Chains A and B, each alone.
Chain A
Amino acid sequence: MIEGPRLPWLDATIVGITPITHRVKSFRLAVTFDRPAVAGQHVEIRLTAPDGYRAQRSYSIASAPSRDGTIELMVEGLPKGEVSGFFDGVAEVGDTLELRGPIGGAFVWRPEDGGPLLLVGGGSGVVPLLAMLRHRAAAAPHIPALLIYSVRAADEVLVQDELVRRAETEPGFDLMLNLTGDGGRRIDAALIGEALERLGAPRHTFICGANPFVGAASDLLVEAGLDPRTIRTERFGG
């Protein structure tokens, strides 16, 4: 048997809210985990109504693992979303909610895992990859990394300024921003080929996004010759 302490529910207080795009907001939460986080992990959020009814959802952590006692989440305000709707329309700085984590031991990257590191994100699937990029810059800037970031429209790109600045100022980090809407293209073999040429053979690949995107990207990468065992995927939506 594997023994261990139960992953506890913790109180987390919202200490900052920043709009990222017209639909996505960043939430900084003050919370102290009882175990170290790894880039790529997620948390569970639990909201409780006055009558005790609860709703529970998972969100990827956007911030690099740190000891400053905060994490950053990015939440898209979906009109029908029970929990995302709360984040979008109700949550304010000073509110406290319940959270447990950090969770996940497969879609994670540690500096000692090495590189080159290929990150492939579709839409808000870039969030856990952002945690890896931020961690790489802080802890292992010598490791080459390339982010393919595929988004429908320019106004949906999350933290574009940060990504462009990192690509311009961080040696060894390369950004391929791909817009799919309005005459753009979906990721294809040519784009994957270019990424592999620019980065070199990746030691680890992480793909995150909606299901069809992740399926297409992982098939393309396996067809391009990558060892499937070096590719990790995380998907959301049906």
Chain B
Amino acid sequence: MSTRGFTGRRPPETTRVRLPPGQSLTEDFPVLQIGPNPRIDLDTWRFTLRAGSRPLKSWSWAEFGALPRTRWSGDIHCVTQWSKFDTAWEGVSVDDLLADAGVDAPTAFALAEGYDDYTTNVPFADLTDGRAMVATHYDGAPITSDHGGPARLLVPHLYFWKSAKWLKGLRFTQKDEGGFWEMRGYHMYGDPWREQRFTGD
């Protein structure tokens, strides 16, 4: 059923085919987060891979900077209904992190953990084979604090709440454990093309 008097402003076809259902294109880069930006000092910054509570490998900022670099460009989709096209990121792929740690496939699931105590779950398979990175640069410059710098997760094929800001580590878990938003009604997986915004979508 249509809404009386609503005609809408359709974006051009070239835009529409790139927009998942319910999304609108933005030229801005909106900022969404649950609280204040955490204060992060690069001298004490660490990134840690864990299996459960057991640390597998930890890198300082300097050690992290020596890892192989990966670039990705493409579209990102936020559950708050904006999408942004042709975003350019650079960082270290999760594949390269695992290789440097000498770890193969620890478990089927992972929780990304932020310095602000934010968490979000992503299946292991969605983090590997070039599908995710720990990004340090956006559009050629270090990622600002507002956008999750110095390092954030980038899992661009899922809604952007999965791309945790101010990342301090990945914890591999035996079970699919919901993170901050997943425990508050948001979808466990979050595929924008299947419009998996909320539990049950």
- Shortest A38–chain B CB gap in Å is 11
A54→B36 contact, CB < 8 A: no
Among A34-63, those with CB < 8 Å from B are 44, 46-50, 52-58
Determine whether A150 belongs to the interface, using a CB cutoff of 8 Å to chain B. no
Q: How large is the interface on B (under 10, 10 to 19, 20 to 34, 35 or more residues)?
A: 35 or more
Say yes or no: is A237 at the interface (Cβ < 8 Å to chain B).
yes
A47 to B7, CA, bound (A): 9
Question: Measured between C-beta atoms, what is the minimum distance from B16 to chain A in Å?
Answer: 9
Residues from chain B with Cβ under 8 Å of A1 in the complex: 176, 188
For residue B183, which residue of chain A has the nearest CB? A2
Interface residues on chain A, size class: 35 or more
- Central interface residue in B32, B33, B38, by most chain A CB within 10 Å: B33
| Residue pair B29, A7 in contact (C-beta under 8 Å) | no
* A106 and B201 form a contact (CB under 8 A): no
Within 8 Å by CB of A106, from B26, B28, B180, lies B180
Known: A82-B8, A82-B9, A238-B28. A233 touches B34 (CB 8 A): yes
Contact present for B8 and A49 (CB under 8 Å)? yes
Q: Given that A48-B6, A231-B36 are known contacts, is A236 also in contact with B117, CB under 8 Å in the complex?
A: no
Q: Which residues of B are found within 8 Å of A178, using beta-carbon distances? A: none
User: Which one of A2, A3, A86, A105 has the greatest number of beta carbons of chain B within 10 Å?
Assistant: A2
Query: From DSSP, what is the main secondary structure of chain A's interface residues?
Result: mixed
Bound: A210/B81 CA distance, A? 17
| Closest beta carbon of chain A to B42's beta carbon, Å | 19
**B8 CB contact (under 8 Å) in A55, A97, A219, A228:** A55
* Chain A residue with Cβ nearest B145: A215
B37 engages A218 (CB within 8 Å): yes
- Chain B residues whose CB sits within 8 angstroms of the CB of A229 once the complex forms: 35, 117
CA distance A101 to B25 in the complex (A): 23
CA distance A211 to B31 in the complex (A): 7
Cα A236 to Cα B81 with chains together (Å): 12
Chain B interface helix/strand/loop/mixed: loop
Within 8 A of A (CB), among B1-59: 1-10, 22-24, 26-39
| Nearest-Cβ distance from residue A187 to partner chain B, whole angstroms | 15
| Chain B residues within an 8 Å CB radius of A48 | 1-3, 6
Chain A, residues 202-216, CB within 8 Å of chain B (1/0): the string is 000000000100110
B3 touches A97 (CB 8 A): yes
Q: Give the docked Cα–Cα distance between A95 and B22 (Å).
A: 21
Is A5 an interface position by the 8 A CB rule? yes
List, in ascending order, chain A residues with CB within 8 A of B183's CB. Answer: 2, 105
With contacts A105-B185, A228-B35 taken as known, whether A7 is within 8 angstroms of B199 at the C-beta atoms is yes
Q: How far apart sit A54 and B181, CA to CA, in the bound complex (Å)? A: 26
A90 CB-CB contact with B under 8 Å = yes
Interface string of B149-177 (1 = CB under 8 A from A): 00000000000000000000000000010
Do A103 and B198 touch across chains, with their CB atoms under 8 A apart?
yes
Closest Cβ of chain B: how far from A12's Cβ, in Å?
11
B113 on the interface (CB 8 Å rule)? no
Choose one: A46, A86, A233; the contact of B35 (CB below 8 Å): A233
Pairwise interchain contact A218-B35, C-beta atoms closer than 8 A: yes
- Check A215 against B37 for contact (C-beta < 8 Å): yes
Closest 5 CB pairs of A and B: A238-B28, A105-B184, A6-B200, A218-B36, A90-B5
Which A residues are within 8 Å of any B CB, using their own CB? 1-7, 44, 46-50, 52-58, 82, 86, 90-91, 95-98, 103-107, 211, 214-215, 218-219, 221-222, 228-229, 231-233, 235-238
User: Can you show 21 pairs from A to B with CB atoms below 8 A apart?
Assistant: A1-B176, A1-B188, A2-B183, A4-B199, A6-B199, A46-B22, A47-B8, A49-B3, A50-B2, A55-B9, A91-B5, A95-B3, A97-B3, A98-B3, A103-B198, A105-B184, A221-B36, A232-B34, A233-B35, A235-B33, A237-B30
